[in-house]
Structure 1
Amino acid sequence: MKDTKYPFHEFFAGSGLVSCGLSSAFRSVWANDISERKAKVYRANLDASILHIGDISEVSGGELPPAVLSWASFPCQDLSLAGNIDGIYSKRSGLVWQWMRIIDEAGDKAPSVICLENVSGLVSAHGGEDYRHLHKALTERGYMVGAVLINADLFVPQSRPRVFVIGTKGPIPSSLRGIRPSWAHSNALAKLGESIADFIWWDLPRPPARSIALEDIVEDDIPFDKDRTTLLIPERHRVKFRESGSIYATGYRRTRNGRQVLELRCDGTAGCLRTPAGGSSRQFLVRRDGEEMHARLLTVREVARLMGAPDDFELPGTYNDGYFAMGDAVAVPVAKYLAENVLFQLVEAANGLE
């Protein structure tokens, strides 16, 4: 978008997919994560010199290089329906307050624009109180704040709804400031926003129709070696798969009524990727060949494609390492969309360049 890219801080950087997505307008000048496992992927693809591995509680806001944007994909475990929903003051998701401390320590050098990313539970769990606390803390620090919910399935064949809390200390261009909920506000988010007096309704253009299908991410030369798993597919899912006319479906193993089943998604979109903590967290690819069905695990490259990572994005380490790096990340095209449709404009406005 411009020859000189704006500097940004990348908190909870993980494997670096946010940096890839923002790269049309921004360059990371400082990144942090605690996972050496993810750091191997970051270093293999991005500027290793800016990555600092360690506990965020040990980071001093006064020592960071200048930046105009701070992005923080803080831990979701305590806000996710797949986790324990302990909330935003718990041990893991509560690390967002360490990020807030760093913003405070930066003082008048704090970035003028911020973007926080997390699961949809941020706005739906505990009656929206987790978001309310976060919103209030950000407005007390001088940011005008609102949130949007964007599903990665607008860009890639993976259902991955995520909340993005966006704030700025600069003027808001009229083209970005709506007066009511839009396509980027779920019912829960719209209801919550309407109850907050200073909530900003970010007005974003609807992305064009997705051009990539599930079959487009499949590696054709990988053997289907988990056919016994197809025995776990419930009959109603078999019927649904056949009636869909699709060749491929994805599925997760789940326990229903005391027995294990493989539940399929047959709409040409994969389920939301997870980190591989156990066998049930790995997603299967099922291929239909007439009345027969064959199964295997998604490959690491297929998982990366579902996150919008380019095929030259390196994934060093084991299968689980690669799956972990992708399953706990932000989809590249979503970050790119936000960079080009709201974050860039806010930074320009905050710096008097719009």
Structure 2
Amino acid sequence: MPQNNKKRNPMQNFSFLEFFAGSGLVAHALQDYFYTKWANDICPKKASVYVSNHGLGQLHLADICSVRGNLLPAAHLSWASFPCQDLSLAGLTGGIHAQRSGLVWEWLRIFDEMIEKPPILVAENVAGLVSSKNGAYYRVLHEALRERGFKVGAVILDAALWVPQSRPRVFVIAVREDLVIPSFLISDGPTWLQPSAVVRAAQDLENWVWWNLPEPDPRKQDLINILEWDAPCHDEKTTHRTLELIPDRHMERLMQDDVIVAAGYKRTRNGRQVLELRFDGIAGCLRTPEGGSSRQFLVLKKDGVLKTRLLTIRETARLMGAPDTYELPGTYNDGYRAMGDAVAVPVARFLAKQLLAPLATAWTEHFKTANTEDRYVG
């Protein structure tokens, strides 16, 4: 595995620690603003993807439960894309204290142990964090952050704003309560970032922040634009069997002239397996078996004939906003899991540019007079 010998980008003014780093898409997304001081994941296969693209130097491959905060370097930001299985509506919804999603408390335990604590925290997860149990799971996390001296707000961003994949995710952004947040980053009430589920979860919470960011430009690509048209399709027998699973109303829509490609998942409806398609120019949310779903199918018209196949690994990477130069070693299943468990690049990049870097700048400026900013730089 290559060592990390990359020179630091001169635009990277700030540093961050990444927990549950997975395949490294967050590090890739933040690279114009934050450089990685330390990263952690437990999965060797995802670590292989991370190292292939970022080098080995900063990655610590180990169970998060073994990490000791007093050994970690100081940084401006701590980011945790903690496991979603117990919060996902497609999973078991065991809740924020369950075995997998409950690892968020290990992240906070490490924060408590740190000598120099990051002034900015981000926790990322599925929408169920704020929507399940009328927001009860989020409120527990919010209170834990507030008790640690943070002001906190949650936003929901859908990757479909940037890439042709429906992928709504919650981002919980916390900043130390002694920092005066720049006025252009906050609002007096809900914005486009806080749908009704967030508003309900936020009701009567102390130290709540209504984050306010500019809306992105309209998405420029549809599903048809990211396909590998030369990728092999299923054989005739498999294609026929797959097409038989499509509901009649979806098949009628599929046969219309304006439809070239549609994506879908196999579902069980009324005791029968069906392949449900969508016709809005985007793919469904990439998921892994651990996340409660199967692999995603494509139905394409090629020379007027219907063909079927799975998404290719490169297509899954494109749906996550990763460049074609992003290396994906391992098997098909390895790559699918690496992308299906990741954070979409343009979403994380948007947050870094519009919110996290301005907050880090405000923190640095706020403490310049005390000559303490060097503790969080370098």
Work out which of the residue numbers 48, 62, 76 in structure 2 matches 1:68. 76
Q: Kindly indicate whether the alpha-carbon contact (under 8 Å) linking 1:2 and 1:25 is maintained by their aligned counterparts in 2.
A: no
Matches within 5 A, 1:176-255: 176-225=185-234, 226-228=238-240, 229-243=242-256, 245-255=258-268
Q: How far apart are the structure 2 equivalents of 1:289 and 1:15?
A: 33
SS in 1 for 2:170: strand
One-letter code aligned to 1:50: Q
One-letter code aligned to 2:62: G
- Residue matched to 1:158: 165
Q: Kindly indicate whether the alpha-carbon contact (under 8 Å) linking 1:34 and 1:53 is maintained by their aligned counterparts in 2.
A: yes
Q: How far apart are the structure 1 equivalents of 2:109 and 2:189?
A: 32
Q: Kindly indicate whether the alpha-carbon contact (under 8 Å) linking 1:276 and 1:323 is maintained by their aligned counterparts in 2.
A: no
Gaps of 5+ in 1: none
TM-score normalised by the chain length of structure 1? 0.96
Q: Using a 3 Å threshold, how does the CA distance of structure 1 residues 99 and 279 change in structure 2: closer, same or farther?
A: closer
Matches within 5 A, 1:79-98: 79-98=87-106
Q: Kindly indicate whether the alpha-carbon contact (under 8 Å) linking 2:287 and 2:293 is maintained by their aligned counterparts in 1.
A: no
Work out which of the residue numbers 103, 109, 112 in structure 2 matches 1:104. 112
The Cα shift of 1:352 comes to 1.3
Name the stretch that deviates more: 141-150 or 279-288: 279-288
Q: Using a 3 Å threshold, how does the CA distance of structure 1 residues 318 and 116 change in structure 2: closer, same or farther?
A: same
TM-score normalised by the chain length of structure 2? 0.90
Runs of 4+ aligned residues of structure 1 deviating over 6 Å after TM superposition are none
Q: Using a 3 Å threshold, how does the CA distance of structure 1 residues 87 and 333 change in structure 2: closer, same or farther?
A: same
Deviation by residue 1:192-218 (Cα, 9 ceiling, x = unmatched)? 223324310000110100011111110
Q: How far apart are the structure 1 equivalents of 2:65 and 2:87?
A: 20
Q: How far apart are the structure 2 equivalents of 1:289 and 1:187?
A: 42
Deviation by residue 1:316-344 (Cα, 9 ceiling, x = unmatched)? 00000000000000000000000000000
Matches within 5 A, 1:293-308: 293-308=306-321
Q: How far apart are the structure 2 equivalents of 1:199 and 1:212?
A: 35
- Residue matched to 2:67: 59
Matches within 5 A, 1:1-354: 3-107=11-115, 109-169=116-176, 170-225=179-234, 226-228=238-240, 229-243=242-256, 245-276=258-289, 281-289=294-302, 292-352=305-365
Q: Kindly indicate whether the alpha-carbon contact (under 8 Å) linking 1:156 and 1:210 is maintained by their aligned counterparts in 2.
A: yes
Q: Kindly indicate whether the alpha-carbon contact (under 8 Å) linking 2:91 and 2:291 is maintained by their aligned counterparts in 1.
A: no
Q: How far apart are the structure 2 equivalents of 1:352 and 1:194?
A: 32
Q: How far apart are the structure 2 equivalents of 1:49 and 1:312?
A: 20
The Cα shift of 1:293 comes to 2.1
The Cα shift of 1:127 comes to 1.8
- Residue matched to 2:373: none
Q: How far apart are the structure 1 equivalents of 2:103 and 2:292?
A: 28
Q: How far apart are the structure 2 equivalents of 1:286 and 1:278?
A: 23
Q: Kindly indicate whether the alpha-carbon contact (under 8 Å) linking 2:84 and 2:291 is maintained by their aligned counterparts in 1.
A: no
The Cα shift of 1:289 comes to 4.9
One-letter code aligned to 2:174: G
Q: Kindly indicate whether the alpha-carbon contact (under 8 Å) linking 1:9 and 1:71 is maintained by their aligned counterparts in 2.
A: yes
SS in 1 for 2:122: strand
Deviation by residue 1:67-118 (Cα, 9 ceiling, x = unmatched)? 11000000000000111111111110000000001111114x1101011000
Q: Kindly indicate whether the alpha-carbon contact (under 8 Å) linking 2:263 and 2:299 is maintained by their aligned counterparts in 1.
A: yes
Q: Using a 3 Å threshold, how does the CA distance of structure 1 residues 4 and 289 change in structure 2: closer, same or farther?
A: closer
One-letter code aligned to 2:327: E
Deviation by residue 1:15-45 (Cα, 9 ceiling, x = unmatched)? 0000011111001110001111100100100
SS in 2 for 1:146: strand
Q: Kindly indicate whether the alpha-carbon contact (under 8 Å) linking 2:159 and 2:168 is maintained by their aligned counterparts in 1.
A: yes
The Cα shift of 1:280 comes to 5.7
Q: Using a 3 Å threshold, how does the CA distance of structure 1 residues 22 and 230 change in structure 2: closer, same or farther?
A: same
Gaps of 5+ in 2: 1-8, 369-378
One-letter code aligned to 1:194: Q
Q: How far apart are the structure 2 equivalents of 1:47 and 1:174?
A: 38
Q: Using a 3 Å threshold, how does the CA distance of structure 1 residues 266 and 27 change in structure 2: closer, same or farther?
A: same
Deviation by residue 1:183-238 (Cα, 9 ceiling, x = unmatched)? 11121112222332431000011010001111111001112214121111011111
Q: Using a 3 Å threshold, how does the CA distance of structure 1 residues 61 and 194 change in structure 2: closer, same or farther?
A: same
SS in 2 for 1:267: coil
Q: Using a 3 Å threshold, how does the CA distance of structure 1 residues 257 and 244 change in structure 2: closer, same or farther?
A: farther
Q: Using a 3 Å threshold, how does the CA distance of structure 1 residues 82 and 99 change in structure 2: closer, same or farther?
A: same
Q: How far apart are the structure 1 equivalents of 2:29 and 2:292?
A: 30
